[in-house]
Amino acid sequence: MSFDVGDDTLVRALREHNPWWDDGATALAPTLPARRRSDYYHLARPDSAGSQFEDQSVLGLTGRFGVGKTTLLRQFIYDRLTDGDAPERFCYIPFDADPLYQLQSDDQLHQAIRYYESRVLGRLDDPTPHFLLLDDVHRVDHPTKRSIEGWGTAVAETLKSVPGRHVVVTASAGGQIERELDRVGVAADEYDVQPILPEKFRDYLFTLYPSLEDTDRRVSPTPLRYGDSSLPAALDGGDPAALVETIREQHDRVSDVTRRIQSQVVHYLAMGGILSYAQDGAIEDASDLDDAAYDRLLGDVRHALYREVPAFESVKTIADLERVCALAARNQATESVRYQRLVELFDVDRRTIRDSYLSALAELYLLTATTEYDNARPRSVRLYLRDTGLVTAFTDGGPTSALRDRDVEANLARIAAFDHTMRFAYGVNAANGNDVEPTVEYWESRHGTVDFVFEVDGTPIPIALAYQPPVDDKRAALNAFLETYETPVGFLVTGDTVGDNTAIQQTGDGIIQLPYWLYLLLC
């Protein structure tokens, strides 16, 4: 008896993966979470004409396994259907749904597209616009295999075949998309790549308390990003007074519920941005999570490392990447790690550590290594996991470790602040037309450490975190930085046990003090 797998497996299952062709939006409703995350509004722009899905020919969404890329695609389809778009305008192809789709995947993709065009899209008199959504394209056979074309070939060809076509692809890392599109000659201005990261604190809070997202209560980072009272304006004018007033105005929107917001900070820190976001809403109490949730999260990380890294990075020992993450979880960015120590631990050279190990983890948004600001030859790095839930998962701390131990809470607060500062740096620069990858570094002096430094148009912004007392050394370090680099603005972020944690203060020469919970909301 012979066994043969035809190359039409994907075509045969296409209607199963696109149930809205027969049942409309009702086929998707039960599978979607209660609230759209902020990434969705940025991408879909539901309150304005068009969407980021239509701004270019190809849009790539990247992020590690489990972060919610597929959910974003489904939400986009659902909302467009409920707004009246024809179901035939959307074709969804998930390459990770069945390993058989990955056999002779170039032929299967071509056949699926032809079926969609002839049997589904052909029903419409005017097919403009329509969307081809290719999920997990990194699972498609790589073009280095003999006689196998990559997914980029089919995408380049299909863009020319029917007018009004937009292709959306998802993958684990941006390089997986960029290299394939460059290989087939898709011009850089024809595609864009957007990372999808775990939920920020603001997303968690808005999911937990929907009323805080009302127009008159919603704390927004937008006024800090651009405008006459923004951070860039303060840098240009040298006077932070207007920026301080902007921050106070945002604070006043939720001044009557600050205690409620403060109380949720530690629960977010214990769970991180993935575990805190459930199908039917946010989880209010971290102690409601059992150890199995963290085990699943850790399993997702291993899945990403062992399945995705070999496709885009030359790393001989994948297990070493998991060990780097475990080291970062134990260290919790409390101190810098010397490159030489990493060389000794992993028995590889410094270039391999920097350009392979740390680069691969950064591309998956699992871990970011940061060096000292204004140091051309750094000898040490600080290792930040990008989701505090991973710290708990790697250290076997359990969901209640942060709830009971103030030191654990403070360490998690530092890690979450770094992640949010990375997003803040990106948001401010993007809003002002600066096309740069965000870089957040630290700065050390005899006065103390400035935890985070990023630049806007070449001007450094120092941020010191005093989650627990004492605070004087942090203020001294900030003053030293402002004097050394002649920058007009610095931030002192304080926890709820440091002084008056509800007030926004302008102290010293350009130092703005604000509470930790508000800083997270403004990032």
User: Are the beta carbons of 73 and 92 closer than 8 angstroms?
Assistant: yes
User: Which pLDDT band, with edges at 50, 70 and 90, does 317 fall under?
Assistant: confident
Q: pLDDT of 149-204, one tens digit each?
A: 678 888 999 898 888 999 999 998 888 899 999 999 999 999 999 999 999 999 99
Q: Residue 106 has what pLDDT?
A: 77
**CA–CA gap between residue 39 and residue 301 (Å, rounded):** 21
Q: Residue 148 has what pLDDT?
A: 57
CA dist 185 → 152, 179, 259, 502 (Å): 9, 10, 54, 54
User: Which pLDDT band, with edges at 50, 70 and 90, does 438 fall under?
Assistant: confident
- The mean pLDDT value for 419-429 works out to 96
Q: What one-character DSSP code corresponds to residue 26?
A: G
Whether the per-residue pLDDT at 260 is higher than 50: the answer is yes
* Domains present along the chain, CATH in parentheses: 9-195 (3.40.50.300), 207-255+414-522 (no CATH), 291-395 (1.10.10)
Beta strands in 252-361 (DSSP E): 277-278, 281-282, 337-338
Q: pLDDT of 34-51, one tens digit each?
A: 778 778 888 988 877 789
Q: Residue 171 has what pLDDT?
A: 92
More confident residue, 316 or 216: 216
Provide the total of helices (H) and of strands (E) in the chain, helices listed first: 23, 16
Give the pTM: 0.90
Q: Residue 1 has what pLDDT?
A: 34
Instruction: Give the count of alpha carbons within 13 A of 205, CB side only.
Output: 27
- The mean pLDDT value for 200-213 works out to 92
**CA–CA gap between residue 151 and residue 140 (Å, rounded):** 7
Q: Residue 34 has what pLDDT?
A: 77
CA dist 145 → 203, 240, 271, 404 (Å): 42, 58, 41, 53
**CA–CA gap between residue 376 and residue 84 (Å, rounded):** 56
More confident residue, 45 or 329: 329
Bond preceding residue 87 cis, omega within 30 of 0: no
Q: pLDDT of 281-305, one tens digit each?
A: 788 999 998 888 999 999 989 888 8
Whether the per-residue pLDDT at 490 is higher than 90: the answer is yes
Whether the per-residue pLDDT at 263 is higher than 80: the answer is yes
Q: Residue 501 has what pLDDT?
A: 61
User: Which pLDDT band, with edges at 50, 70 and 90, does 4 fall under?
Assistant: very low
More confident residue, 429 or 145: 429
Q: Residue 144 has what pLDDT?
A: 52
Whether the per-residue pLDDT at 375 is higher than 90: the answer is yes
User: Are the beta carbons of 274 and 387 closer than 8 angstroms?
Assistant: yes
- Locus of tokens 């809403």: 281
- The mean pLDDT value for 336-353 works out to 95
Find the helix or strand (DSSP H, E) in which 515 lies. strand 511-515
User: Are the beta carbons of 354 and 232 closer than 8 angstroms?
Assistant: no
| Amino acid sitting at position 280 | D
Bond preceding residue 129 cis, omega within 30 of 0: yes
Residues 6+ apart with CB under 8 A from 430: none
User: Are the beta carbons of 126 and 138 closer than 8 angstroms?
Assistant: no
Residues forming beta bridges with residue 122, ordered by sequence position: none
Q: What one-character DSSP code corresponds to residue 289?
A: S
Q: pLDDT of 97-152, one tens digit each?
A: 888 888 777 788 889 999 999 999 999 999 999 999 999 988 875 545 555 567 88
> What mean pLDDT is reported for the chain?
90
The percent of residues in the chain predicted with pLDDT above 70, rounded, is: 95
User: Are the beta carbons of 93 and 134 closer than 8 angstroms?
Assistant: yes
Q: Calculate ∠ Cα 80-38-279, nearest 5°.
A: 80
Give the number of other Cβ atoms within 10 Å of residue 375's Cβ: 13
Q: What is the DSSP string of 100-167?
A: GGGTTHHHHHHHHHHHIIIIIGGG-S---SEEEEEE-GGGSPPTTSTT---HHHHHHHHHHHSTTEEE
The percent of residues in the chain predicted with pLDDT above 90, rounded, is: 69
- Locus of tokens 């296409």: 14
Between 105-115 and 151-161, two packed helices, what is the crossing angle to 10 degrees? 20
Residue 251's φ and ψ, nearest 5 degrees, are -60, -40
Q: Residue 2 has what pLDDT?
A: 38
More confident residue, 312 or 217: 217
**CA–CA gap between residue 480 and residue 449 (Å, rounded):** 10
- Locus of tokens 């941006």: 174
Whether the per-residue pLDDT at 394 is higher than 90: the answer is yes
Q: pLDDT of 64-102, one tens digit each?
A: 888 889 999 999 999 999 999 999 999 999 998 888 888
User: Which pLDDT band, with edges at 50, 70 and 90, does 280 fall under?
Assistant: low
Between 318-331 and 388-395, two packed helices, what is the crossing angle to 10 degrees? 100
